[in-house]
Amino acid sequence: MLKGINPLLSPELLKVLCEMGHSDTIVIADGNFPAETMGKNGVVLRMDGHGVPEILAAILEVFPLDQYVEKPVSLMERCEGDNADVSIWKTYDRLISEAEERGTSVIQKLERFEFYEEAKKAYCVIATSETSQYANVILQKGCVL
């Protein structure tokens, strides 16, 4: 264990976060997300037993969001006609506002299949046990200044 490092940040996850370079992306996926399919060209990390918000909070403690793009955080937009509860997005707003001086202005919503196309390009996909629908998040890495 390391002092000051959230215990959710396993050695494997810390290694991945360190390997990622500027503009690389990481997906934190809910339990319904096809993580193995989308992540077949990158790294897939299993974090079963954990939800997206706790992993997002831990990653944001050490992960700089890309300061050179307007929207370095992407969420999967709810499909038209789907009334799924997306109250988890309020949690994301809070966590991102706490970690990022630009606040929630860094968040964009991508249509489901557009989100999938971006996820296929990610350096890493983290598979979680999150039960909320539309709880997927893509983070784009910035530079440590």
Active site residues: 22, 66, 116
Mind giving me the DSSP string for 28-73? EE-TTS-HHHHTTTSEEEEETT--HHHHHHHHHTT-PBPTTSS--E
Phi-psi region of 49 (alpha: psi -120 to 50; beta: other; left: phi over 0): left
Structural contact between residues 7 and 1, judged by C-beta atoms closer than 8 angstroms: yes
